[in-house]
A and B are shown apart, each in its own frame.
Chain A
Amino acid sequence: MLKSFRLILFSLLMLSGVTAFAAKSGITIGMQLEPPNLDPTGGAAAAIDEVVYANIFEGLTRFASDGSIQPALAKGWSVENEGKKYVFQLQENVQFHDGTAFTADDVKFSIERAQAEESTNAQKGLFENIAGVEVLDDSTVVVNLTNPDGNLPFNLAWGDAIIVAVESIENAKTAPVGTGPFVFNNWVQGDRINLKRNENYWGEPAKLESVTFKFISEPTAAFAAMMAGDVDAFPVYPAPENLPQLEADPRFSVVLGSTEGETILSINNKSEKLSDRKVRKAIAHAIDRSALIEGAMFGYGTPIGTHFAPHHPAYVDLTANSNYDPELSKSLLKEAGVGNLELSLKLPPPAYARRGGEIIASQLRSVGIETKIENLEWAQWLEQVFKGKDFDLTIVSHTEPMDIGIYVKPDYYFQYENAELQGVMETLKSESDDEKRTELLQQAQNIIANDYVNGFLFQLAKTGVANSKIQGLWENAPTQANDLTAVFWAE
């Protein structure tokens, strides 16, 4: 009896030992939001790119973790005709996951599909300047531009510009087929998406055998999942208040990086009370950014004074332009002649908005602006605020890279219109000289800051938490992505 018991105990020990020592070949990544579908060329949701970008789908070029543009499906390119013609040499012997070959025709198809009238591409502006795509041979493609543009490789690196195949695009929303190092395996709606390694990958194959994206919307549940080891990494960890605790735990490493997320107090510029620049200026001066960052984000975030990422070389620090000055706010409100201002403040679910909203409401109240807070779910927010434009104030983080272009779209949800800015951005489009581009970008930053279009709050920090044995995760988030190509478990 005792002998058999010992035997059982011994074999159990052996079993547990085996599982503990075998190198882990899979990874579970936690994400707060589940993507609505998996076609990055047909929707704006950041969660789509966070699953598929660089893992399933690739473009001609791609972002690296530091924000630089690297060749991907294009081996290299040359610029001709004074910046109006790009010749891309493509990688050879590349196959889509369904076995069909990747050729220049796929590039032509993908770009023309994104440009098409009926295309639902969320970033159609990226392709606006493309006059036509010519196929020279299977591995050479020419992109002709209307105006010279030094930014084409950057534009083509976006998740919205990935290359798809005509044979498999129909089911891309539920069964994406790309050329990337991982193959789509299955999707359990409401829970997880699983990818497997692409054994026929054209480049250096991924080190992980499988990847699971697990969707955990509740910050508390995210913390529990992290502590229990149910997820191995949370690239954008949703509860900053837990970070010191996770950092102190030797099992985890916390990496702080930059994101492209400009968090702003969006102002409905067409709203009757807020079309007055003085009122908007008063709102801007009523906000104490340091208290906001401390209170809502527990100190994680960089103050911004305009809609531009602070780590970008062309960034100008304009925070002084809207410094915390409640007295100035009060006198501006008096000047504008608005008494008893009551504004709606509609808040989407993330902590930066819900907590930030309460802090801003209190700061606005102390200068005499009353707000009516309404907490919305994302679907309601998209419907009422983003599409319906039925709001006075809202808080949201704009996570797309280089998105200052939204200020020249008068029908964008905050409805700003300024001819001078439109002129600057128009010149920028055809300018390929780097120095002049920087100058124009700074001019644009100044215009929106001086017009107090929105309340510019802070740049979201990328607060990544991962098992400390995981190597190769992106430190920064130059685009919405979880590139797992180079990730592995260190022993």
Chain B
Amino acid sequence: MTKPSNTTGFKKLLPGLILVALFFLAAVLSYLWTPYEVDSIDIKNRMALPNMQHWFGTDHFGRDIFSMLMVGARTSIAVAFIAVGIGVIVGVPLGLCAAAWQGRWLDELIMRSNDLIFAFPALLIAIMITAVFGPGAVNAIIAIGIFNIPVFARLTRSGAMALWAREYILAARVAGKNTVQISVEHILPNILNLLIVQATIQFSLGILAEAALSYVGLGAQPPVPSWGRMLADSQTLISIAPHLALFPGLVIVLTVLGLNLLGDGLRDWMDPQLRRQRS
């Protein structure tokens, strides 16, 4: 039983890993080298089809689309990574607290505030924040980050609650460890796999959210390239130069697909191990 599930997990893991690695590589490489400067406008050369000089063609200002996508990957990663980071750093301790003092007022307070944030659609919160504090990458990060908090808090709480009933926790308590120590030393390491899988999925959602915010003009501001804005800019040009929308669209799809495959693969891959550990 364990063996086939292991291989299917790997089948998803590998393509996911490759896609995500490519995407990270492009972003890192863009710091050192891009085929062209992303802010050099060359009107005469605009909307060129993919060719040897410009692998993905040029946009409506004559900028190299390949270079813009590379730099755009940087923006996407930065926004999504920090946003997930906010969610983990704030959400996980909150979830641990809620589980440790389960049923008490602290648990209620944390979980009901989470419900409050959860009640609003993520994009709506993001639009509200950027409308109040002005558009920009930093505000997009905060907006997406806030939405990530309840996701991690809930997951941590439910994962931790199942563990609190276990005997080895009781043993730790008998050994004289207090609630905080148990949470950090015994609960957290045992729910880490859950968190890693969720973080991967949230990462892909973060990239989508960043693209959506940039698309409506609330993400990173020009001239910083961003995938979402590239899509928005090419919208009216789709009938004359479809490749302007095709490449950013494709990159977003592949990245999100890669991250989802990676998340799924990781879950399948970690799950049997976990079972073996428990037994």
> Which chain B residue lies CB-closest to A351?
B236
Does chain B have a CB within 8 A of A470? no
B69 to chain A, nearest CB (A): 17
Given A373-B221, A374-B221, CB of A245 within 8 Å of CB of B239: yes
* CA distance in complex: A461, B223 (Å): 27
Query: Does the CB pair B135–A241 fall under 8 Å?
Result: no
Quick one: which of A214-272 are within 8 Å of B by CB?
219-220, 223, 239, 241-242, 244-245
Which chain A positions have C-beta within 8 A of B128? none
Contact check: which of A239, A242, A355, A358 meets B223 at CB < 8 Å?
A: A358
Query: Does the CB pair B235–A220 fall under 8 Å?
Result: yes
Question: How would you classify the secondary structure of chain B's contact residues: helix, strand, loop or mixed?
Answer: loop
Give the contact-size bracket for chain B.
Answer: 20 to 34
Query: Does the CB pair A241–B223 fall under 8 Å?
Result: no
Query: Does the CB pair B43–A295 fall under 8 Å?
Result: yes
Given A359-B43, A373-B221, CB of A241 within 8 Å of CB of B61: no
Does chain A have a CB within 8 A of B40? yes
Quick one: which of A338-391 are within 8 Å of B by CB?
351, 355, 357-359, 361-363, 365, 372-375
Query: Does the CB pair A361–B222 fall under 8 Å?
Result: yes
Contact check: which of B61, B62, B221 meets A375 at CB < 8 Å?
A: B221
Which chain A positions have C-beta within 8 A of B271? none
* CA distance in complex: A220, B235 (Å): 7
Given A241-B237, A365-B39, CB of A359 within 8 Å of CB of B61: yes
Quick one: which of B222-279 are within 8 Å of A by CB?
222-223, 235-240
Contact check: which of B61, B134, B235 meets A295 at CB < 8 Å?
A: B61
B274 to chain A, nearest CB (A): 48
Does chain A have a CB within 8 A of B192? no
Which chain B positions have C-beta within 8 A of A128? none
Given A359-B61, A361-B222, A362-B223, CB of A374 within 8 Å of CB of B134: yes
Does chain A have a CB within 8 A of B60? yes
Which chain A positions have C-beta within 8 A of B61? 295, 355, 358-359, 362
A to B contact number (C-beta, < 8 Å): 58
* CA distance in complex: A357, B61 (Å): 12
Which chain B positions have C-beta within 8 A of A325? none
* CA distance in complex: A102, B255 (Å): 68
Contact with A along B2-25 (1 / 0, CB 8 A): 000000000000000000000000
Query: Does the CB pair B223–A373 fall under 8 Å?
Result: yes
Contact check: which of B40, B221, B236, B240 meets A220 at CB < 8 Å?
A: B236
Contact with B along A282-310 (1 / 0, CB 8 A): 00000000010011000000000000000
Does chain A have a CB within 8 A of B93? no
Which chain B positions have C-beta within 8 A of A362? 39-41, 61, 223
Given A295-B43, A362-B39, CB of A219 within 8 Å of CB of B236: yes
Query: Does the CB pair B41–A241 fall under 8 Å?
Result: no
* CA distance in complex: A241, B235 (Å): 11
Which chain B positions have C-beta within 8 A of A294? 43
Which chain A positions have C-beta within 8 A of B221? 372-375
> Which chain A residue lies CB-closest to B238?
A220
Contact check: which of A242, A244, A359 meets B236 at CB < 8 Å?
A: A242
B250 to chain A, nearest CB (A): 20
Which chain A positions have C-beta within 8 A of B235? 219-220
* CA distance in complex: A291, B46 (Å): 11
B47 to chain A, nearest CB (A): 9
Given A358-B223, A373-B221, A374-B221, CB of A291 within 8 Å of CB of B43: yes
* CA distance in complex: A295, B134 (Å): 27
Which chain B positions have C-beta within 8 A of A220? 235-236, 238
Contact check: which of B41, B217, B240 meets A358 at CB < 8 Å?
A: B41
Query: Does the CB pair A241–B43 fall under 8 Å?
Result: no
Which chain A positions have C-beta within 8 A of B40? 362
> Which chain B residue lies CB-closest to A244?
B240
B175 to chain A, nearest CB (A): 59
Question: Can you offer 30 A-B residue contacts whose CB atoms are under 8 A?
Answer: A220-B235, A223-B236, A223-B239, A239-B236, A241-B60, A241-B236, A241-B237, A241-B240, A242-B239, A291-B41, A291-B43, A295-B41, A295-B46, A351-B236, A355-B60, A358-B41, A358-B61, A358-B222, A359-B41, A359-B43, A359-B61, A361-B222, A362-B39, A362-B40, A362-B41, A365-B39, A372-B221, A375-B217, A375-B221, A375-B222
10 closest pairs, A vs B, by CB? A362-B41, A295-B43, A239-B236, A291-B43, A219-B236, A220-B235, A373-B222, A294-B43, A375-B217, A358-B222
Known: A241-B240, A359-B41, A362-B61. 13 other contacts (CB 8 A): A219-B236, A220-B236, A245-B239, A291-B43, A351-B236, A357-B222, A358-B222, A359-B43, A361-B222, A365-B39, A374-B134, A375-B217, A375-B222
Binding site for A on B (CB under 8 A): 39-41, 43, 46, 60-62, 134-135, 217, 221-223, 235-240
